[in-house]
Structure 1
Amino acid sequence: MKWAELTWPEFERADKKVAVLPVGVVEAHGIHLPLGTDALMAIYVAERAAEGAGVLLLPPIWYGTTYVLDKFPGTISISAETLYRLYKEVFLEAARNGVKYLVVVNGHGGNIDALRMAAKEISKTTELTVIVINWWIDLAKEARRKVLQTLEGHAAEDETSEMMAAYPHLVKEMPRDADEWVETKYAVYGSAAYQQMYKKAVQGYPSKAAREKGEVILRAAVEELKSLLEYLKRDTLPIYKRQ
């Protein structure tokens, strides 16, 4: 059920126990993937899992924060402070509307700190349980190990394969020199360093991408997320005691 497509009487009658919120960013992803890749992939996984589990799907939050890729045209980066406040307000509204478990499907690394801070903050004043899933890290781990030939990255083999599977009409032809991998010995911050990093808005080897690889990853990711949602419907949290 898509939250935004319900009338208020329909929403009042709906089962609001579990809801899913996809979040991403608008930023450069090479010249072969669209600016909205991170949000689009979070939406894809969240929509299918929510539909399969029969739970509410909130409208996505497309915007996030990025600091290296804002040098590329089309990137939209909002401050971490604004992002934190936005997440916190949405979480509070979900709680006010009767959601017990909110699963955030995040598609962008730059959002992680703000999501964690907002989730921790609202836990002090509400009964809402927030579960943050960085989907490219937390889901389909085994599937990734089986099909990927190179390291995961940004607009790399993994992300390009996933977009080929989910949104093939948005994937452009790659140049022969699409690959890029840059490392720093330490954590380096500053405009001079940023100019030398991600010159192609790529971190990885998109030349190794294939639609079939993306299909394997996405099937596993959707199934794992769907399973979590079904557990939450039964009030079972993903908390395990190590033996």
Structure 2
Amino acid sequence: MHLADAAWPDLEAYFEAESLAIVPLGSTEQHGPHLPLATDHLIAEAFGDEAAERTGYLRVPTVRVGVSPHHRQFPGTAWVDAPVFRDYVESYVRNLAYHGIDRVVFVNAHGGNVQHLREVGRRLRDDDVAYAVEWMWNESIPDLVDDAFEQNGPHAGPKETALIQHLRPDLVHDERLAEARDGGAVDPEASIRTRNGAATFYDTVENSPNGAFGDPTAASAEKGAELFDAASDQLEALCEWLADREWAELRAPERVTSE
């Protein structure tokens, strides 16, 4: 069920019966010369839709702009400051909690959001409002992702390219895949700037001139479909696990005291 598509009497019935919501989150940011700026939120929405279809749990509207200032040199990239993002997402979940939701799966497809969603989850649990867990599709199937491509990449590489080829092939510039590889950071480990154990960069363009990492020419819609189905299995299982937990299991433990 999609919250925005439903009439309120149907939502009232849902909130009486269920306490879990699926919240997709992504970004609107550059993804190399070959992928749309919508890449992350398209991926998050697709996983959210699939999980809602499989489980019957409520999927709420997607947060489409995230923490992306590190991509700001590329035209069109949108972002909000990290404190604003955290406060917005926390307020969003508190709204859901008002209607009876006390557990949330953040279906996140943007690495820049991860630490902030974890912080929001801590705030909500510490305030006894809701238990919110952050989920990233590729982190749920790491071995499959690693085995799928010889030259992978954390951003705008073959794994994301394959998913968009599967989900929205009309938005992929296949004629630019070689350009993305050759003008980007085909070997991320060699390209990402570090010195003496410290990251010596703040922006994507310092590591990849065109914003892509890895070899997207290795991607295909078939590989994207395989990754999507495998990660969807993991998300479905996570939703069912969280829905089955007693609230007492999810609350923060009481302060430990010595006797």
TM-score for both structures, normalised by structure 2: 0.85
Q: Which residue of 2 aligns with 1:13?
A: 13
CA drift of 1:195 comes to 4.8
Q: Which residue of 1 aligns with 2:4?
A: 4
- 32, 35, 38: which one aligns with 2:37: 35
Tell me, in whole angstroms, the C-alpha distance in 1 between the residues paired with 2:61 and 2:240: 20
Deviations 1:159-182 (A, max 9, x none): 101111111111112333321212
- Does the Cα contact within 8 Å between 1:30 and 1:200 map onto a contact in 2? yes
CA drift of 1:97 comes to 1.2
Residue pairs, 1:79-228, within 5 angstroms: 79-137=81-139, 139-175=140-176, 176-179=178-181, 180-181=184-185, 182-185=191-194, 186-189=198-201, 195-228=205-238
Tell me, in whole angstroms, the C-alpha distance in 2 between the residues paired with 1:11 and 1:96: 13
1:174 aligns to what SS in structure 2?
helix
- Does the Cα contact within 8 Å between 1:69 and 1:198 map onto a contact in 2? no
Deviations 1:7-48 (A, max 9, x none): 221111113311100001100111111001011101111110
- Does the Cα contact within 8 Å between 2:204 and 2:211 map onto a contact in 1? no
CA drift of 1:194 comes to 5.7
1:103 aligns to what SS in structure 2?
strand
Tell me, in whole angstroms, the C-alpha distance in 1 between the residues paired with 2:235 and 2:86: 24
**What letter is aligned with 2:38?**
G
Q: Which residue of 2 aligns with 1:241?
A: none
1:68 aligns to what SS in structure 2?
helix
- Does the Cα contact within 8 Å between 1:140 and 1:221 map onto a contact in 2? yes
- Does the Cα contact within 8 Å between 2:31 and 2:212 map onto a contact in 1? yes
Cα 1:205–1:22 shift into 2, 3 Å: same
Tell me, in whole angstroms, the C-alpha distance in 1 between the residues paired with 2:211 and 2:9: 46
- Does the Cα contact within 8 Å between 2:193 and 2:199 map onto a contact in 1? yes
Tell me, in whole angstroms, the C-alpha distance in 2 between the residues paired with 1:67 and 1:99: 31
**What letter is aligned with 2:131?**
T
1:22 aligns to what SS in structure 2?
strand
Tell me, in whole angstroms, the C-alpha distance in 2 between the residues paired with 1:47 and 1:141: 22
Deviations 1:58-109 (A, max 9, x none): 1000011112211111100110010011011011112111112200011111
- Does the Cα contact within 8 Å between 1:148 and 1:213 map onto a contact in 2? no
Tell me, in whole angstroms, the C-alpha distance in 2 between the residues paired with 1:197 and 1:125: 40
Aligned length: 235
TM-score for both structures, normalised by structure 1: 0.90
Cα 1:127–1:69 shift into 2, 3 Å: closer
Tell me, in whole angstroms, the C-alpha distance in 2 between the residues paired with 1:215 and 1:112: 24
2:72 aligns to what SS in structure 1?
helix
Q: Which runs of 5+ in 2 are unaligned?
A: 186-190, 251-259
- Does the Cα contact within 8 Å between 2:44 and 2:108 map onto a contact in 1? yes
| Same amino acid, percent of matched pairs | 27
Cα 1:194–1:103 shift into 2, 3 Å: closer
